[in-house]
Amino acid sequence: MKLIIAIIQPHRLEQVKEQLYKAEVNLITVNEVLGHGRQKGIDEVYRGFKETGNLMRKIRLEIAVNDNFVEPTVNAIMKGAQSGETGDGKIFVLPLESCVRIRTGERGWVAIG
């Protein structure tokens, strides 16, 4: 079991979701977050005061998958989120120790799907 965390551009969310559904990945948690990587933020100016390198709005996805779904999920996110410009985001794949479905109490790989 793996936990996939992806940071993507907000305007790419719809395309990423579309690709995930195509890959039959239907379970997803979405957060609105702030941050920036190599792409520096845009300067903001308020009555002449400049604020540089601002944190930008990003979307963070969390998807728990069984091992055979890792590649399809990563590929789907890539397909949906990649534009080739800086700021497209990152995908992190983390080992996942356990998973419990609250409704039934099922544990392990059956609980993920």
Partner 1 sequence: MMETEVKNAFDSGDTAWVLICAALVMLMTPGLAFFYGGLVKRKNILGILMQCFIILAALSIQWVLFGYSLAFAPGKGFWGGFGWFGLKGVGLEPYADYSATIPHQAFMIFQAMFAIITPALIIGAFAERMKFSAFLIFTLLWATFVYDPIAHWVWGTGGWLKNLGALDFAGGTVVHINAGIAALVTAMVIGRRNCYEKYVSPPHNLPFTVLGAALLWFGWFGFNAGSALGANGLAVNAFVVTNTSAAAAALSWAFLDWKFNGKPTLLGTVSGAVAGLVAITPAAGFVGVGAAMIIGLLVSVFCFVSVSFIKPRFGYDDSLDAFGIHGIGGIWGAIATGLFATRVINPAGSNGFFCGNPRQLWIQLAAVAATAAYAFIVTFAIYKLVDGVIGVRVAGKEESMGLDLTQHNERAYTMLE
3-state secondary structure of 108: coil
3-state secondary structure of 43: coil
Per DSSP, which regions of 16-87 are E strands?
29-35, 44-46, 49-51, 56-65
Among 14, 51, 67, 71, contact with partner 1 (rule: CB under 8 A): 51
50 interacts with partner 1 by CB under 8 A:
yes
56 versus 96: smaller Cβ distance to partner 1 = 56
46 interacts with partner 1 by CB under 8 A:
yes
44 interacts with partner 1 by CB under 8 A:
yes
18 versus 51: smaller Cβ distance to partner 1 = 51
CA–CA distances in Å: residue 23 to residues 19, 26, 92? 6, 9, 18
32 interacts with partner 1 by CB under 8 A:
no
